[in-house]
């Protein structure tokens, strides 16, 4: 049976909290997936937004779910409610480049046993933005540890087999990437362009090195609960 006779395969899961400024661009970037018949549904998992996040999502045709605050809790809730055979986890402040749907569709057809992520870029003209994006993409290629900002495309079968997202206050993306493993993660040639707000606020190199230090501590055994107390 060809895809034309089957439901669209992908459920998009977007955790959000007061994301009205970034969400429209995120949702607009999904249009190529709708046009190609790739997207079955878009789930906006809200954690108590006090702005127009849910209104914007509802107007765009998203399913709205409410979850406890905490990105891992939201991602877990979204995965539990999703109906697609493939899941695409995407941050609300990230927009995908137009070719994402073609690349994702090809991955689904040719690599059903692997997960995939996108190349990272930042919405900034700063020199440091390109430096950090290149650093993140090297980390993905060499160690299969993408940033959560890069999105994650994974089949329901593989997601369930590796145990899904852990309900932890930080590093849920790193934990899942490690469970997937290097041999089961592909880097697609499409871009996930994300907000640079925190780096512009804190300083590019200062925040980048601070985040890298937190990841190193986690990989060495520090608890996510302890690490979360020093992250914002």
- Structural domain total, the chain: 1
pLDDT band at 2 (very low <50, low <70, confident <90, very high): very low
Whether 217 is in a domain gets the answer no
pLDDT for the residue numbered 10: 98
Specify the 3-state DSSP secondary structure of 56.
Answer: helix
Whether 141 is in a domain gets the answer yes
Whether 206 is in a domain gets the answer no
Whether 135 is in a domain gets the answer yes
How does DSSP assign 216-227, residue by residue? HHHHTT--HHHH
The Cα–Cα gap between 191 and 120 comes to: 6
- Residue 152's domain comprises 3-201
Does the pTM of the predicted model rise above 0.85? yes
pLDDT band at 5 (very low <50, low <70, confident <90, very high): low
Tens digits of per-residue pLDDT, 161-220?
999 999 999 999 999 999 999 999 999 999 999 999 999 999 999 999 999 999 999 999
Residue 80 β-bridge partners: none
Among 67, 16, 63, which residue's Cα sits nearest to residue 41?
Answer: 63
User: Angle between the 204-219 and 127-143 helix axes, to the nearest 10 degrees?
Assistant: 20
CATH number at residue 120: 3.90.550.10
Under 8 Å between Cβ of 191 and 121? yes
Under 8 Å between Cβ of 29 and 91? no
Whether 218 is in a domain gets the answer no
pLDDT for the residue numbered 232: 66
Whether 195 is in a domain gets the answer yes
């Amino acid at each position: 049976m060809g895809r034309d006779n089957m439901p669209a395969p992908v459920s998009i899961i977007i955790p959000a909290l007061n994301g009205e400024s970034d969400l429209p661009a995120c949702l607009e970037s999904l249009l190529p997936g709708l046009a190609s018949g790739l997207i079955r549904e878009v789930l906006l998992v809200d954690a108590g937004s006090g702005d127009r996040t849910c209104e914007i999502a509802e107007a765009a045709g998203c399913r709205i779910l409410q979850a406890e605050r905490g990105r891992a809790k939201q991602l877990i809730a979204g995965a539990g409610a999703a109906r697609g055979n493939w899941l695409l986890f995407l941050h609300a402040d990230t927009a995908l480049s137009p070719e994402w749907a073609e690349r994702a569709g090809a991955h689904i057809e040719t690599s059903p046993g692997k997960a995939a992520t996108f190349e990272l870029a930042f919405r900034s003209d700063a020199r440091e933005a390109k430096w950090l994006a290149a650093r993140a993409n090297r980390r993905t290629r060499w160690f299969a540890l993408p940033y959560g900002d890069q999105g994650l495309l994974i089949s329901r079968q593989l997601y369930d087999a590796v145990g899904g997202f852990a309900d932890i206050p930080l590093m849920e993306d790193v934990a899942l990437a490690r469970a997937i493993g290097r041999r089961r993660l592909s880097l697609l040639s499409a871009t996930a362009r994300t907000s640079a707000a925190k780096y512009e606020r804190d300083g590019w190199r200062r925040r980048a090195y601070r985040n890298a230090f937190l990841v190193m501590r986690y990989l060495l055994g520090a608890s996510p609960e302890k690490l979360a107390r020093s992250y914002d």
